[in-house]
Amino acid sequence: MKKLIITICILAFAVTAGLAQNKITNVRGFWVIEHNVNLPRVQTIKFYNDNNKLIYEETVYSKLNIKKQKTRLALDQILDRLNERTAYVESKNLVTLSLNLRN
């Protein structure tokens, strides 16, 4: 009886862990932050669509910490707004305004 209970617990754990890994996200496109080692305060954020086509690019003159949830969420929201548009957006400082950065 003890073996049966242990086997059921192990199977339940394996099924639960397998389901957690199959989380499907509905991400359209991606963003990349590029920086130079010699100029750490100058960063370029590039937004791409699903076809790896550049849809927006902005240079920011302050250091972005992408480890912060707030920064990643703001960049994801900008990406969602840019995906709703069809043409390339001219520089309107979307990142600077969204993150309240000083220029």
Question: Could you read off the pLDDT tens digit of each residue along the chain, which spans 103 residues?
Answer: 888 888 887 877 777 766 655 555 555 889 999 998 898 889 999 999 888 889 889 999 988 888 999 999 999 988 988 888 765 566 577 777 777 766 5
How far is CA 96 from each of CA 15, 24, 91, rounded to the nearest angstrom?
Answer: 44, 30, 11
Residue 39 inside a domain? The answer is yes
pLDDT of residue 86: 61
Total domains present in the chain: 1
Q: What do you get for the CA distance between the two ends of the chain, in Å? A: 69
User: Whole domain around residue 35: which residue ranges?
Assistant: 27-98
- The answer to whether position 20 is within a domain reads no
User: Would 15 be classed as within a structural domain?
Assistant: no
Q: For residue 52, tell me if it sits in a domain.
A: yes
CA dist., res. 14 & res. 40, Å (int): 44
DSSP output for 6-69: HHHHHHHHHHHHHHHHT------SEEEEEE-SS-TT-EEEEEE-TTS-EEEEEEESS---TTSH
